[in-house]
């Protein structure tokens, strides 16, 4: 049998020699062999047919495309910035972080706080900055299935370099240890966390439909496991946001004003779902108004005269407690 080089076969088939060598590595050319550092292809071998993927095409939501695009382009004053600032501010406030929204905005945009009117914890600033990193992480991985490793990495980025990390009260990316005691609620034994979390993720990913009830159900079960020494609520809310965007569900940001209803909803979920669903529905409505505002901002200036007398003129960006303290 006569052989030709991969480059000669590539010229014959009208493809690059890189593609020809790839065909060989994929064993798609009968009789091809690797010899003396080069691929040899039978002279009369036919060009392989295109491979047809057996996997269904992945559907990417328009919102995920927008966020990925704005993050890549560093689009100031877009939806990406809005989420970074307001999500970080609101979720951190739920975790007892005392930074104001303006301070969080300074940290996100400039990496510093210009004015401090009262004593501010270093950990509040570091954790706010880390939360911004976590939002970038979920945007980068927004269209990927949820995984156990993803949760571990989120916790690592959230807690790395914090005061609790440096004082060895928290180990980033590591489950809570045996002996951790919390007075507010019972917790599963530390040695069962890994298996419980993996089982929860597998069960969730195994569902054909992942709508709002399924995402909230995962969130409640995740919070009941209490996988980490600290940061469980923020990690859980980051996962909810990611899964909403991934599955075409309107995402939401729960603000500190609804803290009591949110916590009550988590506690009641097993027997009464209305409380948490109502908190989320209100938050989704606020997010939808923000989406509408952002779409108006993206219109060319020539289009604004068309909307000048409409009710859209009254839409105002939600400030999430935009006061200074």
Q: 3-class SS at 193?
A: helix
Per-residue pLDDT of the chain (325 residues; tens, 9 = 90+): 789 998 898 898 888 877 888 888 888 889 888 888 788 999 889 898 876 544 444 567 889 999 999 998 876 678 999 999 999 999 999 999 999 999 999 999 988 877 666 778 889 999 999 999 999 999 999 999 999 999 999 999 999 999 999 998 999 999 998 766 665 667 899 999 999 999 999 999 999 999 999 999 999 999 999 999 999 999 999 999 999 999 999 999 999 999 999 999 999 999 999 999 999 999 999 999 999 988 887 766 555 555 554 444 444 455 555 443 3
* 292 φ/ψ sector (left φ>0, alpha ψ -120 to 50, else beta): alpha
Q: State the pLDDT at residue 299.
A: 67
* Residue 173 CB coordination number (10 Å): 17
Q: State the pLDDT at residue 53.
A: 45
- 251: buried, middle or exposed (CB in 10 Å: 19+, 13-18, 0-12)? buried
Q: State the pLDDT at residue 303.
A: 56
Question: Cα separation of 237 and 195, whole Å?
Answer: 21
* Residue 263 CB coordination number (10 Å): 17
Token representation of residue 140: 């980068």
Q: State the pLDDT at residue 186.
A: 79
Task: Name the DSSP class of 96.
Answer: T
Closest CA to 83 of 223, 251, 236: 251
Question: Cα separation of 59 and 77, whole Å?
Answer: 27
Closest CA to 138 of 284, 288, 245: 245
Q: State the pLDDT at residue 17.
A: 78
Q: State the pLDDT at residue 96.
A: 92
Q: State the pLDDT at residue 74.
A: 73
Which residues have C-beta within 8 Å of that of residue 242, sequence separation ≥ 6? 138, 141, 142, 146
What's the Cα-to-Cα distance from 51 to each of 23, 26, 28, 238, 286, rounded to whole Å?
11, 11, 10, 37, 45
Q: State the pLDDT at residue 132.
A: 96
Closest CA to 273 of 232, 212, 205: 212
**Stated pTM of the model:** 0.75
């Amino acid at each position: 049998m006569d052989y030709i080089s991969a480059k000669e076969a590539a010229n014959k088939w009208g493809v690059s020699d890189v593609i020809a060598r790839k065909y060989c590595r994929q064993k798609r050319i009968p009789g091809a062999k690797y010899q003396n550092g080069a691929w040899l292809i039978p002279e009369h071998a036919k060009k392989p047919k295109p491979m047809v993927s057996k996997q269904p095409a992945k559907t990417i939501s328009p919102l995920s495309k927008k966020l990925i695009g704005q993050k890549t382009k560093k689009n100031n004053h877009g939806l990406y910035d809005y989420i970074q600032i307001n999500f970080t501010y609101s979720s951190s406030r739920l975790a007892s972080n005392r930074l104001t929204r303006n301070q969080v905005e300074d940290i996100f945009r400039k990496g510093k706080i210009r004015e401090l009117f009262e004593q501010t914890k270093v950990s509040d600033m570091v954790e706010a900055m880390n939360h911004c990193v976590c939002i970038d992480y979920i945007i980068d991985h927004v269209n990927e299935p949820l995984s156990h490793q993803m949760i571990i990495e989120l916790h690592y980025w959230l807690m790395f370099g914090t005061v609790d990390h440096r004082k060895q009260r928290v180990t980033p990316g590591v489950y809570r240890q045996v002996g951790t005691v919390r007075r507010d609620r019972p917790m599963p034994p530390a040695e069962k966390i890994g298996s419980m979390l993996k089982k929860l993720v597998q069960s969730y990913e195994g569902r054909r439909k992942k709508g709002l009830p399924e995402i909230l159900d995962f969130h409640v079960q995740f919070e009941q496991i209490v996988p980490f020494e600290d940061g469980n609520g923020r990690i859980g809310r980051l996962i909810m946001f990611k899964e909403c965007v991934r599955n075409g569900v309107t995402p939401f940001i729960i603000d500190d004003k609804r803290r009591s209803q949110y916590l009550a909803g988590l506690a009641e979920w097993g027997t009464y779902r209305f409380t948490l669903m109502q908190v989320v529905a209100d938050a989704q409505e606020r997010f939808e108004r923000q989406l509408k505002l952002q779409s108006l901002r993206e219109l060319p200036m020539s289009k604004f005269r068309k909307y000048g007398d409409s009710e859209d003129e009254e839409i105002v960006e939600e400030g999430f407690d935009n006061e200074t303290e």
